[in-house]
Every structure is written in structure tokens, then in C-alpha cells.
Amino acid sequence: MKKNILIHIPHSSLKLPKCFFDNIIVSKSYIEKENIFISDYLVDLFSNEYAYVLKFNLSRLCCDVERYVFNEQEEMSKYGMGVIYEKDSSLNKFIELNENYKNYILNKYYYPHHNKLNNLVNYIIDKYDFCNIIDLHSFSDEFVYKIFKYENTPDICIGTNVYSYPKYKKLIINHFKEYGYSVLENYPYSGSIIPNTCKDYKKINSIMIEINKRIYLDDNKIINKEKYKKLSMCMNSLYKKL
């Protein structure tokens, strides 16, 4: 089976290392609740046999692999949510950071993940001459309003960049609309991940799919069986089309 699709899932894990808990200044119960809320909770359920899957197995509360390392390059650092978070979704400080801790997290988790991404994309290009990257996320209305004051969010947000070819973007947008979902491009989030190093960037199509949690979860944490079944069918048929 040809598998030129790479599903990148950076924010679904809830795993937190011991060194993280050694530095927090709030209770563990508070962290557990925030961890579920801020994660792309259970979005990894929507990966399948038609694709390679690269999942970051650490919570974004500890390390966000889709942030730039240097704060001056990272817009979210002004909210205390750079590559290593200092503040939570309510913009409250929850951890004491120091350079030793930051360097440990970057070297232990961040850089190895990006090396895996680079290598896997190049492997797929070598084997199939092209790589479709699906940067898979979810979001909640509550979170984007708390941080950005965004309203009227869609069921599906499609994030694009200069490397995303229009024919694939149109295919994906129309596919979700066929299933009755509302779709907007680059709202409330924009862009899509590209590997740091690649043999030929013209052979990559990277598109971010942000799934609104309301279309598969109740209360942002409980699977709605009927909604999940519909969305799962939608995602599986999308991978087949690609």
C-alpha cells in the first residue's frame, strides 16, 4: 500500500516527566485538569493505516514542538507559551523555569522529535517521490476566546503556507464540507509545519487540520459516540482520497 501521507500529531499526549513536577508551583490536580484542557485531547484517534504517524509523546505543557526555540521569533512567547510554557490557558504562571531545565527539555525531547520529523519526511520522499503532511490538531472555542478573544470559530480550520499546493487545499476543504462541517482557512490558527531540513521542499505538501473539539467531544473531554463516528468516517475517507 502506498503511504505518502505523514500525520504529525504534536499536542495530544498527556505525559509529563518528573522534572516538570519538580518545578511546578501549583497543585498536581490543577495541572491534571489544565493538561486535558490545553491538549489536543484524543485527536490521535483519527490517524489510520493509510499514513505514517509521528506523535510527540510529551504534553505541550512541558514542551511545544511547534514553537520556535527563541522567544524573539515566537509570537506565543508573549503569552508565556513559547517552546516551554510558563503560563497556562488562563495566563497564570504555573512553573518556575531556569536555563538548566529549559536546555534539558530541548535536548531530551524537542530536538530529537524534529530530527525524527526531518528523517521521516525525507524517507517518504525517497520512497514515493512526494510527502503529504497532515499537521493534526484540535482546539476548543473556550481556549481561543480566552487567549485571543476569537469568536465564530468553524468546525474545521485549515492552516496553509506557501508550500501547500492549492489543489490539495481545495480537495480537503471540499471534503469536510461534503460531510456538513463548516470550514475556514487560517482561522483561528494559521500555517502548517515544515521540516527543518528536507531534500526538496517542492515535494512536500503540508496542511494543518484543526478540529474543533465540539464536533467529537462533550465538555472538551468526553467522546460523543455519534459525533466521533461521523468524524472518524470523514477522516478515514480523506486519507484514502489523498
List pLDDT tens digits, range 67-96. 999 888 999 999 999 999 999 999 999 999
The CA angle 163-198-162, to the nearest 5 degrees, is 10
3-class secondary structure, 111: helix
**Domain topology for 5-241:** Aminopeptidase (3.40.630)
Number of Cβ atoms within 10 Å of the Cβ of 193: 21
The β-bridge partners of 20 are none
* Spans of all domains in the chain: 5-241
Spatial separation of the C-alpha atoms in residues 169 and 93, rounded to whole Å: 38
Residue 28: predicted pLDDT: 96
Number of Cβ atoms within 10 Å of the Cβ of 25: 9
3-class secondary structure, 104: helix
Residue 164: predicted pLDDT: 63
For the chain, what percent of residues have pLDDT higher than 70? 97
pTM of the model: 0.94
Average pLDDT per block of 10 residues along the chain, 242 residues long: 87 98 97 96 86 96 96 92 96 96 98 97 94 95 93 96 74 96 96 90 92 96 95 93 84
Residue 199: predicted pLDDT: 81
**Around 37, how many Cα atoms within 13 Å sit in the side-chain half-sphere?**
14
Spatial separation of the C-alpha atoms in residues 42 and 90, rounded to whole Å: 22
